[in-house]
């Protein structure tokens, strides 16, 4: 492995623990036997991809979901279901990031939308009393809905490299999805699959000296 100067993290299921199936469970509960019909409509309209890349406002996204089924959901039901994926981020990972930052530049690269970004910011204050986590723990933060690019598109990795003027060969990337890892490798970044439910600190210690 080349000399590493930069570590790029995905957020969900790498640093922040998620229960990804929770969203589907919640909407199944809300829509009942109309779930598949509503999900198909949202898929045809590419609602989730558009929202993740800033192509829809939060109001537009919530409205699209509210009226996807035969009986409208409330805004509160949509937001609660959408944010049901989050479990949390234990304190020891914050401490680990601070230790890493003494030796490396750290970056966050996540396919994330406005509602989830807001939930995370609120969670950081509510659970950890951290008001500035992006500045405190990272040298750069890249959220798909803000830069209008998303993994696994090659452009998003090249954007991060260019924006921070870092070299692919000096950078390592951790993500919980193989498709995103492979895409990063295509740009020359040294990328590794991080299995959900495992500890990132242990994973990094196996790879980096």
Average pLDDT of the segment spanning 137-152: 98
- State how far the Cα of 84 lies from the Cα of 28, in Å rounded to an integer: 13
Chain mean pLDDT for the chain: 96
Q: Rounded mean pLDDT of 31-60?
A: 95
Name the pLDDT band for 1 (thresholds 50, 70, 90).
low
Which residues are bridge partners to 174 per DSSP?
Answer: 9, 192
Which domains are seen in the chain, by residue range?
Answer: 6-16+89-207 (3.40.50.1000), 21-85 (1.10.150)
Instruction: List beta partners, residue 16.
Output: 12
Burial class of 180 by CB neighbour count within 10 A (0 to 12, 13 to 18, 19+):
buried
What is the reported pLDDT for 2?
64
| Mean of pLDDT values over 40-49 | 95
Tens of pLDDT, residue by residue over 55-91, are 999 999 999 999 998 889 999 999 999 999 999 999 9
Instruction: Please state, as a whole number, how many other Cβ atoms lie within 10 Å of the Cβ of residue 150.
Output: 19
Residue 16: CB atoms within 10 A of its CB come to 21
Segment 146-171, tens digit of pLDDT:
999 999 999 999 999 999 999 999 99
Nearest alpha-carbon partner for 42 in 24, 25, 54, 29:
24
pLDDT-derived band at 208, boundaries 50, 70, 90:
confident
pTM above 0.75, yes or no: yes
% of residues, the chain, pLDDT over 90:
93
């Amino acid at each position: 492995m080349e000399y590493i100067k930069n570590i790029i993290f995905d957020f969900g299921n790498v640093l922040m623990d998620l229960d990804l199936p929770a969203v589907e469970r919640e909407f199944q509960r809300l829509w009942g036997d109309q779930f598949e019909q509503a999900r198909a409509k949202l898929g045809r309209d590419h609602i989730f991809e558009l929202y993740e890349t800033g192509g829809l406002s939060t109001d537009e996204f919530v409205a699209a979901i509210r009226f996807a089924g035969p009986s409208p959901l409330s805004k509160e039901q949509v937001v609660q279901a959408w944010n049901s994926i989050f479990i949390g981020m234990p304190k020891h990972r914050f401490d680990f990031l601070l230790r890493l930052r003494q030796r490396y530049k750290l970056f966050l690269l996540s396919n994330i939308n406005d509602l989830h970004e807001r939930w995370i910011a609120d969670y950081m204050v509510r659970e950890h009393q951290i008001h500035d986590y992006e500045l405190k723990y990272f040298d750069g933060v890249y959220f798909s809905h803000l830069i209008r690019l998303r993994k696994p598109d090659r452009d998003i990795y090249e954007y991060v490299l260019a924006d921070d003027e870092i070299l692919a060969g000096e950078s390592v990337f951790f993500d919980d999805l193989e498709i995103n890892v492979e895409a990063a490798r295509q740009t020359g970044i040294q990328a590794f699959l991080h299995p959900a439910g495992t500890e990132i600190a242990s994973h990094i210690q196996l790879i980096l000296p």
